[in-house]
Every structure is written in structure tokens, then in C-alpha cells.
Amino acid sequence: MKTTDTTSGRCRADRAVVRLALPLAVLSLALSACTQGGSTAEPTDQETAVQSSTPQPSSTGPSSADGGPAPSATPPATPIPTGSPTGSPSAAPADNALLTISVQQDAGAEPVQYVLECVDGAPGPASTLPDPDAGCAALARLGTAFFTARPNKDIMCTQQYGGPQTASITGDFNGTSVLASFALTDGCEISRWDKARDLLGTAGAQ
């Protein structure tokens, strides 16, 4: 009887050890699989078919030499015109005039007359003035206002006498009728004569 009881007790102890060892072995295998990252499952045929049908990005676009996308081209700059802008003021038109210039040295002398013709700023064939180029240049410098202006009585003039000479200019200047007289009776009149000396001659000259 003792032998049988001893054998039974030993068998029960062995079964208990086996029951404890089996879970430990399973746990050890699970930990080993987690540590090594486990095995990668192979895709099934159905998964492979789904992946093949997924559209892939197009590779037909432009690429640079290093394989990256080519930069977009910059449009050429619009050239800037170098000419003068539209509507810019044009050159002033040249002067046209046909004038009779009369110079009298004193009250008893006969007046001397000249003709000045300017066509587009240049002397015309009717000119008899000794220096018609200077005469046309003087007209361009003085303008029509010089010959049509009325004396300003509020201006103080020096009381000086320049001589007995008198002169007159009549005719047409750029479409304006001209009727101007000159004398040397005071400082203001002497100044006017000097401004027109290319037409009248130098004051006091015989």
C-alpha cells in the first residue's frame, strides 16, 4: 500500500510540473516573437490585386537634371518703349512774318525803310534788312507780345535822352497785326530799342 501511494503522489507532482511548465514555454515563445518584431505576413492574392488597381502618381511631368521637378519658366519681360511718350509736346512752330521797318535819324531826315520776311523762321526772298538772319532770330526771341504791348504808365523810367532817332515796325507777325513805334526819349524807350537793335540798328548810329 505504501508503494502505491508513493507512486500516485509522484505522478501527481509530475503532472503539476508539466502544467506549470507549459504556460511558461508559451509565454517565453510570445516574448521572443515580440522582441524580434515578429514575422511579416505575406499579402494575400486579393490584397495584391487591390494594390495593383490603385492609381499611381504620374511620372510624365517635366523633371530637372537631378530628378526633381523642373522649375516653372518665367515669362519674358515686356520691353519698355524707348521713344517719347504719346502726347508729348512737339517743337514750337517756326515764325512767319512780313514786316516793314522804318528808321528816321531825326525829324528832318528821310526815313530809311527795310523789309524783313521770315518763312518758317528763315529769311525769305523779300527781305532787304542788312542782316535778315539776325532779324528773324530777334523775332523768335521777342515774340508777338513785345510788339503789341502797351506802355505801362506805372513804371518809373529814368529821365535820360538817347537821341532824336525814331522808328516804327508794321506788318504781320505769325498772323498778328503789328504796329509798334520806338524812340530814345527816356530809359524805358532806350531799353526797348536795345532789345530790338537787330531790327532797328544800334541807337545813335548814323
Q: Is residue 131 part of a domain?
A: yes
Instruction: Report the share of the chain in percent with pLDDT over 70.
Output: 53
Average pLDDT over all residues of the chain: 75
Q: For residue 127, what pLDDT is reported?
A: 97
CATH number of the domain where residue 181 is located: 3.30.350.10
Mean pLDDT of 8-36: 58
Q: Is the pLDDT of residue 42 over 70?
A: no
Domain residue limits at 179: 97-200
Q: How far apart are CA 141 and CA 169, in angstroms?
A: 16
Q: For residue 154, what pLDDT is reported?
A: 83
Q: Is residue 73 part of a domain?
A: no
Q: Which of 2-6, 98-102, 175-179, 198-202 has the lowest mean pLDDT?
A: 2-6
Q: Which of 70-74, 85-89, 148-152, 192-196 has the lowest mean pLDDT?
A: 85-89
- How many structural domains is the chain composed of? 1
Q: Which grid cell sits at 28?
A: 517565453
Q: How far apart are CA 83 and CA 76, in angstroms?
A: 21
Distances (CA, A) of 20 to 9, 11, 25, 96, 125: 17, 14, 9, 132, 141
Q: How far apart are CA 117 and CA 113, in angstroms?
A: 13
Q: Is the pLDDT of residue 26 over 90?
A: no
- DSSP lists the bridge partners of residue 101 as 114, 169
CB atoms within 10 A of CB 78: 6
Q: Is residue 111 part of a domain?
A: yes
Q: How far apart are CA 160 and CA 203, in angstroms?
A: 14
> Helix, strand, coil shares of the chain as percentages rounded to 5?
35, 15, 50
Using left for φ > 0, alpha for ψ between -120 and 50, and beta otherwise, residue 175 falls in left
Q: Is residue 45 part of a domain?
A: no
Q: Is residue 88 part of a domain?
A: no
Query: Is pLDDT larger for residue 92 or for residue 181?
Result: 181
Q: Is residue 174 part of a domain?
A: yes
Q: How far apart are CA 29 and CA 25, in angstroms?
A: 6
Query: Is pLDDT larger for residue 192 or for residue 73?
Result: 192
pTM reported for the whole predicted model: 0.55
> pLDDT of 157-187, one tens digit each?
898 999 999 999 999 999 999 999 999 999 9
